Structure 1
């Protein structure tokens, strides 16, 4: 038996899916988060039918007319794959808006059960709904649910199982005859449908709320979603989040984990003993325990950040951020929907890029897919934390500024692409239903944090482990497979492969093979930058979370790495704003549907990261020492050359 969950965005559909299946899916407060169907089995304690019940969570949709990509997915699924039952999630507090979609679902000939969700909020809003009369008028079961509290879920599944195979005549029929229905203007039918829903709501719902009165939510929105004050408020919120996660609360929890890692390192060192091959010792201690431990050591800081971001999202604030930034995106030729992938990209660039498929305009979709990876994702946080701790004394402004640098790059890059492609301005309508403010759920935030943390640990235990072992082997051997002698590290395989790239990075202030190797390995997964630096500099014996570094003192590590504050900031920006990991590049290729746009996008990202790092290093060195850094002229030539190539490729693609 297969059940399809269908409903408007923000109706609580994905939360309901999580509650009845036990799955952990991302719950967002904006359309476009669920860009593909998700499936799961109903939990045994809710399934009394004795049959296996498969539930499919469909993207949020307002209509089966398929004006958006999400509605396309929903329409195609319910029409072509014919589920046994459709559970239509209806927001009980917004009945008139939700029932329009319900009447369309009831016309498909598939049994429908209405889940009157958020019914726990009706008393607070002074709303009364006659559920029995609503069920009679719709001709289908109506079950009151509160997915957050888990109320009514067993009754809902039982009603769905009992509805299989039953005939439910559609309650709404247009006034035109069936023979002339195809010729009837769609607008006229829609007006009839709206009139039917309005009459039905008037019959079953009683509201005692003065709609003209400004609510507390309206008063808050006048401040946090203000066209001027909204951005500095967002800056203050993000700064607070980073201060709490990277300077105060995060390191407190990290101390415990770091103690375990240090004990494991010491125990393994004693277990191996002195008679073991130096290669095996380096591989196990520095490559595996040290390299992976260097990344895992930052896990508490990252999880605290994930937890705080989940709270912001759950309370409804992140949707307001999208509204604040919408007007600015339109000025640079992007759709208001471009905000959504970029907000999602702060968690992971891959789903952020995939969310661009909700943008109908091809150029805007490709441009957004190209620019979304500039947003610092969860994989880049260990790199930010490492460099903030070593070179900037745990300053919260480092992490905060990276987000606003990313926003600036996105706006600047979108403007460049708009001018080069000579795109004509087009009207784009961005409709977002703002969720009501609510007290965020600590449980949901914890579940979201654990899910993201699990993905981070799995990545550290697989990809990062493999990369660190490979890096350790390449650093240990020469091309003749001889062990590298002490003081001759530049003869290793790793050094010989990274040295040519290091030469190109001299104008950026970090032209040494160790830093070049870490940057290259970072394209596999950005977390690898931290682990690789720990391996190549042999500073992975333990982590001091007070300094967010891998040995006892930040100054010691800074001396080993040989970076100034200007070159360290340049290196951080180079890793954050050059092309993302290979998995994200694969997502870019799928959404752009053009190899030329993909190559142009990668070139643009590399050119942007290189250019930004160049100017940060050279200007920073000029301000701190009174003169430019090494390689200022060759670097300027390289920046000009890359910019010209990127512009040419994009223009050539648009001319076809």
Structure 2
């Protein structure tokens, strides 16, 4: 009979290095970032070299109370899957929060090992930990590791496997006599109703949770009404005696115990990280945080989209257009290939895909800068400084994380919205995060910038802030509707100490993001460019589809002319921009690919003015995202209706903003006045009045 694999669950606070540990133990390549919220669901893989052991990476959690989606996933997994052992990964430099979590896990009765990770950094800061005393006080096995250097991780897994073979008996000793007596009384009440051995092992945990008033445990147990009534009377007696709520008493007791353990087992200098403290006075200061953030983001975009990025992009474009394309054309001409096939390869595939790949250097530089900021530890600060500001717009500070990730790709940004606990705020985050310019949109920005604005770096920065402004304005608008009305929830996030970026992490991040871009260029973009090329080369003559060799008589132009009328009020009523906007739903890079196929040398002639080109850019930055992101929205919303609402809102918002920019721009730049100008003023006034009004629908009584 085949042996059932043993399971080790990795549990820990956000940003403690769990995913790095998981990658080392399994040989996996899960994304590692120096911020909270990287793991938003459990990941499983076999222990490297041992198919009899499964390692599970659970989302970061501060406690087993179901306050956040991560804590719900973690607790449900432990209670339902019942792993053989739990490996608690803790940041050795900030042990108190991890001990609080260990105290809760200990109540469950599953064998525990506490792994003190990042010991190299702790020792560098002068922090000394008495592991033997820590082991005795917590009654769990303790080991040390430095996962970023690959030290101590496999030893911790071996210790967890050995610990799993021994019966685990915990002597709580955390609560006062009154609380302990009440918890044990509740445990005695519920024990007869716990049928299985696994459930009886959880009796103490259940009793503590019932004492706290945990509604999810009450729903899970489904005990007789009289048991709950007796339990509630027991809790009420303690609350009256202590003059405090039961959950506060439990939380306070655990934190006091954790503080006592740290006080006795950890010897740390008064100033654990002088550099971090000094840097945070400036980077997170009351008056300096936002200016610093703006300067940092401006530097990122200047470096990636400015002279340096443009230089390398032009070099790649020249290589493709003047060397590779000419060589392929000569080869196909020499082989006497059919005209349509030559056009397909040289103008369609080489033109479309080549134009997109030409912007890879700028994307690589942007990804490099963001990866460095992330690994250094700045991005958690960015989420912190934006929280108070974001809440005024109906968003959580954690919405900054999806916004940040969206600058790379909208799909993981939408998925990372799970870190936002409030359901309404989470839906708003899903709907609005793709307003940020993702890596696929940057080639479009670079194309319009280089063709119409002399490659000015500030165009990219403006698009970034336009995306952020659209997120905030949409938050205001949506928050004031009944659909998105809800109470705020507290924002909790650990701030990692600043440290030098690890070359391995930065290179891996850069490789994954650039690789994803190239993969799309070699699949979706290649296929779409080929279709565009064929449609632009064939037309109807005499009722038959025939190779025409020119766009003017092509099928594509006929399709584009039908669609163009919808975009006329936005200033780009030509058939080429209309086709590009529709093809952008496949992949936003295809916006550039379409022009690479249709008008590689005449893009400036497609738009009547720079304002029209900018209106086209704004619409495609804000409208419904690519098909991959749409699929992610459907998955996260778990509702077709919510998905349709999200896409409708995104497209309507993009159309309104683009309409106002073009028509108001024409008024201020050239003095043009028409019905469209009046409608643009009315639309802008209505959106701003509703968004900025102190009261909205959410403040009215439901009928």
* Interval containing the TM-score (normalised by the shorter chain): 0.7 to 0.9
| 2:165 counterpart of 1:165 | yes
| 2:526 counterpart of 1:465 | yes
Q: Tell me the equivalent position of 2:586.
A: 524
| 2:676 counterpart of 1:632 | yes
* Cα distance change on mapping 1:41 and 1:435 into 2, 3 Å: same
Correspondence for 2:455 among 376, 388, 394: 394
Distance in 2 (CA, whole Å) between partners of 1:142 and 1:70 is: 25
Correspondence for 1:261 among 320, 340, 363: 320
Note the 1:91-490 alignment, pairs <5 A. 91-173=91-173, 174=175, 175-176=180-181, 178-181=184-187, 182=207, 183=231, 184=235, 185-210=246-271, 215-254=274-313, 257-258=316-317, 261-262=320-321, 263-273=323-333, 275-421=336-482, 426-479=487-540, 480-483=543-546, 485=548, 489-490=551-552
Higher alpha-carbon deviation: 141-150 or 567-576? 141-150
Distance in 2 (CA, whole Å) between partners of 1:610 and 1:409 is: 12
TM-superposed deviation, 1:302: 0.6
Q: Tell me the equivalent position of 1:545.
A: none
| 2:116 counterpart of 1:56 | no
Note the 1:494-643 alignment, pairs <5 A. 494-537=556-599, 539=600, 557-627=602-672, 632=676, 636=680
Q: Tell me the equivalent position of 2:9.
A: 4
TM-superposed deviation, 1:451: 0.6
Note the 1:12-51 alignment, pairs <5 A. 12-44=17-49, 50-51=50-51
Distance in 2 (CA, whole Å) between partners of 1:20 and 1:441 is: 19
TM-score, length-scaled by structure 2: 0.82
Q: Deviations over 1:428-448 (max 9, x none)?
A: 311222111122223311110
Distance in 2 (CA, whole Å) between partners of 1:605 and 1:16 is: 39
TM-superposed deviation, 1:576: 0.3
**Kept after mapping to 1: 8 A contact 2:67/2:421:** no
* Cα distance change on mapping 1:165 and 1:221 into 2, 3 Å: same
* Cα distance change on mapping 1:322 and 1:199 into 2, 3 Å: closer
Q: Tell me the equivalent position of 1:553.
A: none
Distance in 1 (CA, whole Å) between partners of 2:582 and 2:271 is: 61
Distance in 1 (CA, whole Å) between partners of 2:687 and 2:270 is: 58
TM-superposed deviation, 1:398: 0.7
Matched residue SS, 1:4 = strand
Q: Deviations over 1:283-308 (max 9, x none)?
A: 11222222112112211211111011
Q: Indicate the structure whose relative CO is greater, using CA pairs within 8 Å and at least 6 residues apart.
A: 1
**Kept after mapping to 2: 8 A contact 1:103/1:171:** no
**Kept after mapping to 1: 8 A contact 2:537/2:549:** no
* Cα distance change on mapping 1:284 and 1:364 into 2, 3 Å: same
Q: Deviations over 1:573-610 (max 9, x none)?
A: 11101111122223223333444443333222112211
TM-superposed deviation, 1:253: 4.3
Distance in 1 (CA, whole Å) between partners of 2:486 and 2:44 is: 40
Q: Deviations over 1:27-58 (max 9, x none)?
A: 334433321122334444xxxxx555332211
Q: Deviations over 1:335-360 (max 9, x none)?
A: 33333322222222222222333434
Q: Tell me the equivalent position of 2:219.
A: none
Distance in 1 (CA, whole Å) between partners of 2:361 and 2:47 is: 33
**Kept after mapping to 1: 8 A contact 2:607/2:613:** no
Gaps of 5+ in 2: 1-5, 188-206, 208-230, 236-245
* Cα distance change on mapping 1:104 and 1:622 into 2, 3 Å: same
**Kept after mapping to 2: 8 A contact 1:172/1:196:** no
Distance in 1 (CA, whole Å) between partners of 2:498 and 2:535 is: 53
Q: Deviations over 1:390-433 (max 9, x none)?
A: 11122110111111111111222222223344976734311222
**Kept after mapping to 1: 8 A contact 2:660/2:681:** no
Q: Deviations over 1:349-385 (max 9, x none)?
A: 2222223334343332222221111111121111111
Higher alpha-carbon deviation: 155-164 or 590-599? 590-599
Paired positions, count: 627
Matched residue SS, 1:64 = coil
**Kept after mapping to 2: 8 A contact 1:29/1:434:** no
**Kept after mapping to 1: 8 A contact 2:46/2:54:** yes
Distance in 2 (CA, whole Å) between partners of 1:169 and 1:373 is: 49
TM-superposed deviation, 1:220: 2.2
Matched residue SS, 2:293 = helix
Distance in 1 (CA, whole Å) between partners of 2:681 and 2:565 is: 14
* Cα distance change on mapping 1:196 and 1:311 into 2, 3 Å: same
* Cα distance change on mapping 1:564 and 1:442 into 2, 3 Å: farther
Distance in 1 (CA, whole Å) between partners of 2:685 and 2:97 is: 54
**Kept after mapping to 2: 8 A contact 1:391/1:558:** no
Q: Deviations over 1:507-528 (max 9, x none)?
A: 2221111111111010111111
TM-superposed deviation, 1:272: 1.2
Q: Tell me the equivalent position of 1:542.
A: none
TM-superposed deviation, 1:332: 2.1
* Cα distance change on mapping 1:318 and 1:563 into 2, 3 Å: farther
Distance in 2 (CA, whole Å) between partners of 1:443 and 1:423 is: 41
Higher alpha-carbon deviation: 196-205 or 497-506? 196-205
**Kept after mapping to 2: 8 A contact 1:137/1:171:** no
Please give the root-mean-square deviation of Cα atoms over the aligned residues, in Å: 3.1
Q: Tell me the equivalent position of 1:87.
A: 87
Distance in 2 (CA, whole Å) between partners of 1:248 and 1:52 is: 54
**Kept after mapping to 2: 8 A contact 1:287/1:469:** yes
**Kept after mapping to 2: 8 A contact 1:88/1:114:** yes
Q: Tell me the equivalent position of 1:552.
A: none
Matched residue SS, 2:10 = strand
TM-superposed deviation, 1:529: 0.7
